[in-house]
Structure 1
Amino acid sequence: MATTRKKTTRPRRFSKEKAGELFEILAQERPDPKTELDFVNPYTLVVAVALSAQATDVGVNKATKKLFQIADTPEKMLALGEEGVAEHIKTIGLWRNKAKNVVALSQMILDEFDGEVPQTREDLVKLPGVGRKTANVVLNEAFGQPTIAVDTHIFRVSNRTGLAPGKNPDQVEEGLEKVTPEPYRKGAHHWLILHGRYVCVARKPKCWTCAIEHLCKFKDKTPDPETTAKPAKSSLGPKAPKT
């Protein structure tokens, strides 16, 4: 007799009303959220975000501090050349391939977009080293478009809280687009990233400090370590046996 497998259904995402409550709280905590990548114009933002793949924002900022002082336009970056770019970014992961992409995207911006960073996702993803996530970050931060770039932090927070569960970044992005109320769409990307980076961290989320803990569907919430600390062992040694 054949056995039938039970269907596994994805957890239901938040309602728009509940999502609005969540974002309202995050907005109160960080009224003016911004990327933590340093940049001076849309072009340097494209470069910085492309470099940030498999690297920390802190590490990218250290690498680009001097780079952007001497090459903040596609023309200057091309003049620096692949080897020159590589010398500045050797401290971050995949630096050889990233140096090639930075030079190649700079050339394409000059050749196909008259030296200006394109303002549509379709054009941005044509640039070497620029995927959907990078394009969404640039559209949001540089051009004020209400896009949501699903990185590891947003993916984790969306699934862990139940805000917009999904098996992959595209599913999570689609879910967030549906539940995020209009007033919060511009800042949603940053609020979720920062919440994941500093509160809803990967290994042990800091649930006891979380302002949205009461809305979160995560079952294994981390207790406050101060209230769950084990009592100190007695320094008086073992008790004497009863006689």
Structure 2
Amino acid sequence: MSIEKVLKRLGNEYPDIFYYQNNDPFYVLITTVLSQRTRDSETNSAAENLFKQFNSPEELINADEDEIESLIKNVGFYRVKTHRIKYISGMILDEYNGQVPDNINDLLKLPGVGRKTANCVLTYAFCKKAIAVDTHVHRISNRLGMVDTKTPEQTEDELKNTVPESLWNQINELFVRFGQNTCRPVSPKCDSCVLNDLCPKLI
């Protein structure tokens, strides 16, 4: 299967895929934490509200939790994320001299930051080559026969071995939207899928 063909079709299907408002590392990190289990429109709104008031670790660590909650209350698990944002801000100040780390090992030490979030930060904040694999990317990559893996971590490794680096940063954005709207975990919309002539499940 041609990954180039897959991504081109999905890009035509979802031209309005989510992009970060800016590539400041702290903004990308916090916005990605906010995006977990949350729709893009709600993530954008919460991030805009939050960064209008507090746009640095110093400001957030000193902010009242109730105020942060009121600014991001439209995202899922906003109380948990408020606590994480405060904790992340403190760690960045105390352990990383106020700078978001630019390597995956240190990013993974931050609360609420898994490999998907860390890889988003590496890609969009630091322009490093990475593939952010969440449940959508893992499921769809296996359904399309691009990989044969059991875990997201294995999927990330396999995709890195087979997909050209120039395409890595497109995979998460497009597969997430595709997984939410068409290639769903239950009752996928195969009849209307733009990839139904390529999917091994349907051929």
One-letter code of the match for 1:85? Answer: I
Q: 1:116 aligns with which of 99, 122, 129?
A: 99
Does the alignment pair 1:155 with 2:141? no
1:1-243 superposed matches below 5 A: 18=1, 21-27=2-8, 30=11, 36=18, 38-40=20-22, 41-219=24-202
Q: CA offset at residue 99 of structure 1?
A: 0.8
Cα deviation, residue 105, structure 1? 0.6
Residues 97-129 of structure 1: per-residue CA shift (max 9 Å, x gap)? 211110111111122222221110011111122
Between 146-155 and 190-199, report the one with greater CA deviation. Answer: 190-199
Unaligned runs of 5+ in 1: 1-17, 222-243
TM-score, L = length of structure 2: 0.84
Deviation at 1:28, TM superposition (A): 6.0
CA distance in 1, matches of 2:16, 2:88: 24
CA contact (8 A) 1:52 1:60 kept: yes
- What is the percent sequence identity of the aligned residues? 35
Larger Rg: 1
Alignment check: 8 A CA contact 1:199 1:210 kept: yes
Q: Is the 8 A contact 1:154 1:192 kept in 2?
A: yes
Number of residue pairs matched by the alignment: 201
Alignment match, 1:225: none
Runs of at least 4 residues of structure 1 off by over 6 A?
31-35
How far apart are residue 38 of structure 1 and its match?
4.3
Shift of 1:29: 5.2
> C-alpha distance in 2, partners of 1:123/1:148?
17
Q: Single out whichever of 175-184 and 113-122 deviates more from structure 2.
A: 175-184
Instruction: Say whether the 8 Å CA contact 1:162–1:217 is kept in structure 2.
Output: yes
Deviations 1:36-57 (A, max 9, x none): 2644322121111112222222
Larger relative helix fraction = 2
8 Å CA contact 1:153–1:193 kept in 2: the answer is: yes
Distance 1:175 1:56, change over 3 A: same
Across the aligned residues of Structure 1 and Structure 2, the Cα RMSD in angstroms comes to 2.6
Amino acid across the alignment from 2:66: E
Following superposition, the deviation at residue 146 of structure 1 comes to 1.9
Q: Which moved more, 1:55-64 or 1:139-148?
A: 55-64
Q: CA deviation at 1:81?
A: 3.0
Give 3-state SS (helix, strand or coil) of 1:165's partner: coil
Q: Deviations over 1:135-178 (max 9, x none)?
A: 01111121122211111221221121111132221122122122
| Aligned equivalents of 1:144, 1:38: Cα separation in 2 | 13
Rounded Cα–Cα distance in structure 2 between residues aligned with 1:66 and 1:171: 36
